[in-house]
Amino acid sequence: MPSAELGSVKSAMRVLDLFEYLRRWNAGQTHARIAAQLGIPKSSLTQLLKTLVCRGYLEYDPVSKGYFLGPAVVALGQRSAETRDLVSIAEDVLADTAHATRETCALNLLKGDVSEVVATASGSHRLHYTMRKGDTAPLYATSGGKALLAHLPEEMRRDYLARVSFEKITPRTIDSVPALEAELAEIARTGIAFVVEEFMPGIVGMARPILGRSGFPLAAVNIALPIARYDAALKRRCLNALEDAVLMLRERAGLG
């Protein structure tokens, strides 16, 4: 293994050792004590601690001169727990949504630059759209993906928009950053994302995000249906069912 790679591995191990050490004692630890207990040279430890404090993974108390686990570590663990809770309870809620609308619905999670279906319930019409666990799609092309993208922290959204490469999946797939930005602003304002034949010809989709306690989009609930059946009355019924689903999922997951 090249020396640079070995150095990166050593740095990663030091960060993990430090987090586990502070978690184990659940109390502030001084620079000198950390260096002695973990065997990290003081010069290397100084820069490591400064970086982690700057990023919010550690907090420093100037009175006791102790370092503690910071809010960024707590946020990582909280978000993971919140997401697991949502997935574990989603199927019953989706079944109720499918029953109320007779249309197919799903719970979608952010997975890099795509959204992934992690739970689904099929519609009861003979003609219905099928979504399966594990299905993925570009964030810009589906209602669930757009609902997630519109509610990402600004830094993450800017990073995505700076590097996104559009594929013209259908003739109606959005294909420019300015057009996507305008649509995301409207989704952020209303809390509802729509697509019409952007990912699949003949299919309409709509979605609402599920936000965690920090405001991060943990998931999105979407409904997908054939455009031949889509009218104002069905649109209202689906939007009401989505709102009910989000409220129920938040309540059952303890998100308030």
Could you report the per-residue pLDDT of 120-147, keeping only the tens digit for each? Answer: 999 999 989 989 999 999 999 999 999 9
Q: Is the separation of the CB atoms in 183 and 174 below 8 Å?
A: yes
Query: 59: which residues sit within 8 A by CB, 6+ positions away?
Result: 53, 67, 68, 69, 70, 71
> CA-to-CA distance for 137 and 58, rounded, in angstroms?
36
What share of the chain in percent tops pLDDT 70?
Answer: 94
| 22 pLDDT tier (thresholds 50, 70, 90) | confident
pLDDT tens by residue, 43-95 = 889 999 999 998 888 999 999 999 998 888 777 766 677 777 788 889 999 99
pLDDT at 2 over 60: no
pLDDT at 18 over 50: yes
pLDDT for 55 equals 87
Query: What is the set of domains in the chain, with CATH numbers?
Result: 3-69 (1.10.10.10), 77-252 (3.30.450.40)
pLDDT for 1 equals 45
Rg (CA), the chain: 23
pLDDT at 8 over 80: no
Look over the chain and give the mean of its residue pLDDT values, rounded to a whole number. Answer: 90
Query: 143: which residues sit within 8 A by CB, 6+ positions away?
Result: 193, 194, 195, 205, 206, 207, 220, 222, 224
Average pLDDT, stretch 8-25?
Answer: 81
What share of the chain in percent tops pLDDT 90?
Answer: 67
pLDDT at 208 over 90: yes
pLDDT at 30 over 80: yes
In Å, how far from its chain's centre is CA 57? 20
Kindly tell me the number of DSSP H helices and DSSP E strands found in the chain. 8, 8
pLDDT for 3 equals 46
| 248 pLDDT tier (thresholds 50, 70, 90) | very high
pLDDT for 77 equals 67
Question: Is the model more confident about 193 or about 9?
Answer: 193
Q: Token digits for 20?
A: 């586990």
Using the CB atoms, write b or e for 16-53: b if 16+ within 10 Å. Answer: eebeeebeeeeebbebeebbeeeebeeeebeebbeebe
Give the range among 10-24, 52-66, 211-225 with minimum mean pLDDT. 10-24
DSSP state letters, 35-100: HHHHT--HHHHHHHHHHHHHTTSEEEETTTTEEEE-HHHHHHHHHHHHHHHHHHHHHHHHHHHHHH
pLDDT at 170 over 50: yes
Give the bridge partners for 114, in sequence order.
111, 138
Average pLDDT, stretch 220-230?
Answer: 96
Question: Is the model more confident about 155 or about 151?
Answer: 151
> CA-to-CA distance for 96 and 248, rounded, in angstroms?
10
